[in-house]
Amino acid sequence: MSKTDPLSCESRTPFKSISGGVTAPSGFRAAAIDCGIKNPDVRRLDLTLIVSDHPTHTEAVFTTNQVKAACVRVSAQHMREPDIRAIIANSGNANACTGPRGIQDAKAMTKAAAEALGIRMRQVLVCSTGIIGMSMPIERILPQVAPLAGKLHAKGSDEAAQAIMTSDTRPKTFAIEVPCGGGSFRVGGIAKGAGMICPNMATMLCFITTDARVAKDEIKRAVRHAVDLSFNRITVDGDTSTNDTVIVMSNGQADTPLIRSGSEESRIFRCALHKVMLELAKMIVADGERVTKFVEIRVRNARTQDDARRVAEAVGKSLLVKCSFHGSDPNWGRIIHAVGYSGARLREELIDIYFGGLIACKGGLSTSTPISQLEKVVKEPRFTVTIDLNLGSAEHIVYTSDLSEEYVDFNASEYSAAIHAKRQRGLA
């Protein structure tokens, strides 16, 4: 295993899973409130606030989509502030493709949060998730920000996780405590995401907090490293959204040494951050819109790391492959054809393909493994597909899902349904 593998880290400095999500680390509070953002007639938590009571080093990674939501643009500007203290986030509306008004609304949300908390506007990051192309009902949000701030408490993570859900069927939260330098630190996170999930930042929001004392240059490197090994390795439907954001806040309240790049403490911290992000990333795939299978695509012995990534992503995003998964059909032919168009360097006569531990294709040809045994593997809700290129030593993993008829039905008319609902309420 590599030194960045969570299992390798756990064998040397065991992680302890704990409850508490983003409020598990010391000095963080959270809360959520109901604003009726998507539909004022349906009451649900849809606005959250996450706050550090102490100065932070904060790092963020935003969507690679060239069409960026207003909240992404505003938060990217605010990231120049050296001491981010809060995140305000909503579900039910993406505030994307909303023009100058969208920027004004995003700034208004940060201003309202700053005033309620007694901090500067640029110390607040803003995130939104929901339907693209619809104006934010800011008039329903701003009056609720001060009451929201008044609800902040040290066990508010579960509410926050619920408030950022859209098509998710369950909240996603994970936290750990990690021994380090004679003491310990905590890392906790919440995430949302179910559809429009693809590598290069899946369509999701993820907020992570830690009380570790981390040097600013190290947290930047650690976050990029952990994102590459987690959220950039998942795919549900091959789409990258306008709002994707990962934010990591470190307030240094743990009783541990300062974590600097290149130290043993930095290895431990990177493994811990990776562990939390990877667990949340897997939860996103497992809760993909109407999915029934969670599949790990493992490519090994590629000539280069880029070749391994190309193959894993091509197979993980193939609609034909995903349909086979849904039908519990061990069709290795669909897998090898995706390998072939991936752009990776390969030799057909060297390719081996396994379902679970059973070989279905050896040297590019069918094997004698009984189809009934292969079917048994792919009927499971979780299984692994291994593709051995036998050309080198590079490896890559992508986490993917099946593609169901229910997924198509679910995504067939989201925007039209929202517009009709607004018209019925006299808002469009």
Catalytic entry in 56, 203, 240, 242: 203
Question: Are 240 and 67 contacting, i.e. CB atoms less than 8 angstroms apart?
Answer: no
For 329-401, list the strands marked E by DSSP: 352-355, 358-362, 365-366, 382-388, 394-401
**How far apart, in whole angstroms, are the C-alpha atoms of residue 335 and residue 320?**
9
Residue located via tokens 């989509």: 65
For 53-160, list the strands marked E by DSSP: 57-62, 86-91, 124-129
CA distances (Å), 165 to each of 115, 174, 344, in order? Answer: 26, 15, 37
Beta bridge partners of 33: 47
Beta bridge partners of 16: 177
For 63-215, list the strands marked E by DSSP: 86-91, 124-129, 172-180, 183-192, 205-210
Q: Is residue 292 flagged as an active site residue? A: no
**How far apart, in whole angstroms, are the C-alpha atoms of residue 164 and residue 148?**
14
Q: Which two tokens stand for residue 294?
A: 């969670």
Closest-CA residue to 13 (of 226, 175, 180)? 180
Question: Are 359 and 353 contacting, i.e. CB atoms less than 8 angstroms apart?
Answer: yes
Closest-CA residue to 345 (of 283, 413, 299)? 299
- Cite the active site residues: 203
